[in-house]
């Protein structure tokens, strides 16, 4: 038997590094971010983000804590500016229109958001939770509201579980049901885009699987941007993945590419857990 | 960050290298037994075969564990996929070594031949290809792997020449028909070993560069997502 030298595991640089977003279609972009930067006072959280989000797709944003992924998400529907002392520069286009030139309330209606921790309105019933946005938007027709509530709960895959207990409190539901209730609440105002900030991180594996299945259904009607720390979740549910690091977009490509053969070494190190 | 998972990948690589070295030793013994008419070397091939089979199962189990428990991605995933194929390839080379050793023993029962025709050249080239494939895996060197791919044509040509020359040999002396069949069998086995060496080299390129080069896939643009 011959002697072999010691083993070594090295990353071989690609001969050529493809441009970011090589696999992202250029047509039918629902959202386009052009050189978007966001600040907390003097601290810059994200820098010159350029990203196209195709319509009816799921885009996952991954990256270590503090990389700016949630800040970017909140910049899309102008929630970032709700914090005192913050500002956003650059452009975010929704169907070609700059969201920062439009009414923020209208933007947040068109771009719904679901948060990490399910946050149903605690004093409201399941029905009223879903109807709340409609009523605040000036819809008072009972029949119309009832139809929208049912449709939204069905789209959120919750209807069959709650249809006989619509008058009960929303906070009496399980964590996974509460999160789907929040999704139904976001859907009720007929948005075009859904932003999700770690929507399944507080849920058990079964509830997580339900949310993930739901995403596949929802993308037929909506464009979805999801921030997640769960790499397997990003790989499972998204069409495209963006890797953020220290406030910059490092790589953005078809999810399959990011998780089998990323072009940038930092992405490779992050998805394989070699980071840090 | 040096993670437990990285150590497990290193262990997988180490055990594959161990298997590769036993397989290479077996092929070398089978071929040397042919050239030297050495029965004990041929017998050694059969003894080693069991170790190769045991290692194949051990590596299979390690790969299943890694896939199930670690959900590898990117270069880690490509490494494990390549390792699975290389494991299978090495076991097949082990089988070809056994086939050659069987032919060696059959030839030993016959009168020594004046010439082994193209076999000595095939032996040298096949051993170079196998060593190149294994070294490219150990060093993760895609250029070395590419060299292996480029050598395969030589073996194919030698194998074709062997067939022609054995036919000529049989025409001249029909009593040597059994001997001719053994020579053809060895030649075919060597050609298969060389082919499998190219498979290993292709897996090394897949692992290190995320390129699929088998079946000229790149030229034919068979890969849609790259």
Domain limits, chain A: 29-271
Give me Rg for the CA atoms of chain A: 20
pLDDT value, residue A143? 95
Least confident interval from A146-160, A239-253, B208-222: B208-222
* Residue A36 bridge partners (DSSP): A49
Most distant CA pair in chain A, distance: 84
A53 SS3 class = strand
Buried b (16+ CB within 10 A) or exposed e, A38-62: bbeeeeebbbebebbbbbebbbbbb
pLDDT reading at A145 higher than 60: yes
In the structure, what pLDDT confidence band is assigned to residue B217 with cuts at 50, 70 and 90?
confident
Given A9, A23, A262, which is nearest B74 (Cβ)? A262
**Chain B residues near residue A22 by CB distance under 8 angstroms:** none
* Residue A46 bridge partners (DSSP): A38
Interface test with A, best of B73, B143, B205 (most A CBs within 10 A): B73
CB pairs under 8 A between A and B: 74
Q: What percent of chain B has pLDDT over 90?
A: 81
Q: Which of A122, A114, A7 is nearest to B14 (CA)?
A: A7
B58 in a domain, yes or no? yes
In the structure, what pLDDT confidence band is assigned to residue B4 with cuts at 50, 70 and 90?
confident
Per residue in B44-56, pLDDT tens?
999 999 999 999 9
Taking all residues of chain A, what is their mean pLDDT, rounded to a whole number?
88
Interchain pair A9, B1: CB under 8 A: no
Number of domains in chain B: 1
Query: How are strands ordered across the β-sheet holding A248-254?
Result: A111-114, A193-197, A223-227, A58-62, A240-245, A248-254
**B47-53 contact pairs (CB < 8 A, 24+):** B48/B22, B48/B94, B49/B94, B49/B95, B49/B97, B49/B98, B51/B22, B52/B19, B52/B22, B52/B23, B52/B26, B52/B90, B52/B91, B52/B94, B53/B91, B53/B94
pLDDT value, residue B132? 97
Interchain pair B225, A12: CB under 8 A: no
Average confidence (pLDDT) over A16-27 = 53
Per residue in B90-121, pLDDT tens?
999 999 999 999 999 999 999 888 888 999 99
pLDDT reading at B28 higher than 90: yes
Per residue in A173-216, pLDDT tens?
999 999 999 999 999 999 999 999 999 988 888 888 988 989 99
Full domain range(s) for residue B180: 4-220
A256 or A27, which is more confident: A256
B226 in a domain, yes or no? no
pLDDT value, residue A17? 31
Question: Any idea what the CATH number is for the domain that residue B61 is in?
Answer: 1.20.58.220
Taking all residues of chain B, what is their mean pLDDT, rounded to a whole number?
92
pLDDT reading at A219 higher than 50: yes
B225 in a domain, yes or no? no
Please give the Cα distance from A156 to A131 (Å, whole number). 14
Class of domain A29-271: alpha beta
Per residue in B117-157, pLDDT tens?
999 999 999 999 999 999 999 999 999 999 999 999 999 99
pLDDT reading at A5 higher than 50: no
Q: Chain A within 8 Å of B17 (Cβ-Cβ)?
A: yes
ipTM of the complex: 0.73
Strands (E), chain B: none
pLDDT reading at A1 higher than 80: no
Per residue in A41-82, pLDDT tens?
999 999 999 999 999 999 999 999 999 999 999 999 999 988
Interchain pair B140, A2: CB under 8 A: no
B107 in a domain, yes or no? yes
Q: In chain B, which among 20-59 make CB contacts under 8 A with chain A?
A: 21-22, 24-25
């Amino acid at each position: 038997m011959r002697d072999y030298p010691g083993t070594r595991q090295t990353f071989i640089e690609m001969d050529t590094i493809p441009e970011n977003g090589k696999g992202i279609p250029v047509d039918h972009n629902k959202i386009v971010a052009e050189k978007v930067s966001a600040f907390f006072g003097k601290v810059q959280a994200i820098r010159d983000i350029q990203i196209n989000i195709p319509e009816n797709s799921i885009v996952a944003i991954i990256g270590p804590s503090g990389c700016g992924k949630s800040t970017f998400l909140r910049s899309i529907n102008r929630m970032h500016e709700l914090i005192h002392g913050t500002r956003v520069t650059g452009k975010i286009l929704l169907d070609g229109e700059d969201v920062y030139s439009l009414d923020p309330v209208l933007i947040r209606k068109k771009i719904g958001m679901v948060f990490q921790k399910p946050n149903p309105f605690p004093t409201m019933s399941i029905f009223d939770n879903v109807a709340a946005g409609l009523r605040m938007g000036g819809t008072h027709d009972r029949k119309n509201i009832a139809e929208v509530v049912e449709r939204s709960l069905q789209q959120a895959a919750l209807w069959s579980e709650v249809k006989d207990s619509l008058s009960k409190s929303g906070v009496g539901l399980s964590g996974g049901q509460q999160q789907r209730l929040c999704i139904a609440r976001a859907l009720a105002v007929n948005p075009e885009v859904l932003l999700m900030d770690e929507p399944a991180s507080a849920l058990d594996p079964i509830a997580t699987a339900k949310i993930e299945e739901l995403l596949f259904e929802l993308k037929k009607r909506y464009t979805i941007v999801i921030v997640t720390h769960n790499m397997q979740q990003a790989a499972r549910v998204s069409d495209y993945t963006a890797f953020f690091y220290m406030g910059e977009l490092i790589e953005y490509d078809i999810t399959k590419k990011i998780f089998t053969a990323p072009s940038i070494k930092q992405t490779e190190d992050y998805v394989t857990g070699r980071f840090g | 960050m040096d993670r437990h998972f990285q150590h497990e990948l290193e262990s997988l690589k180490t055990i594959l290298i161990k298997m590769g070295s036993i397989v290479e030793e077996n092929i070398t013994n089978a071929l040397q037994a042919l050239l030297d008419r050495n029965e004990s070397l041929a017998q050694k091939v059969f003894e080693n075969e069991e170790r190769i089979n045991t290692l194949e199962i051990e590596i299979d189990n390690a790969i299943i564990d890694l896939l199930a428990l670690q959900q590898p991605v990117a270069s880690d995933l490509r490494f494990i996929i390549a390792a699975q194929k290389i494991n299978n390839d090495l076991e097949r080379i082990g089988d070809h070594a056994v086939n050659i050793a069987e032919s060696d023993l059959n030839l030993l029962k016959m009168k020594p031949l004046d010439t082994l025709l193209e076999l000595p050249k095939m032996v040298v080239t096949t051993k170079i290809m196998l060593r190149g494939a294994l070294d490219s895996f150990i060093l993760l060197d895609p250029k070395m792997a590419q060299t292996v791919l480029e050598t395969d044509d030589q073996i194919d040509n030698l194998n074709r020449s062997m067939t022609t020359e054995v036919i000529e040999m049989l025409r001249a002396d029909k009593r040597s028909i059994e001997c001719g069949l053994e020579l053809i069998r060895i030649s075919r086995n060597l050609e298969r070993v060389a082919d499998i060496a190219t498979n290993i080299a292709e897996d090394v390129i897949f692992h290190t560069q995320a390129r699929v080069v088998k079946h000229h896939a790149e030229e034919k643009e068979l890969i849609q997502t790259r």
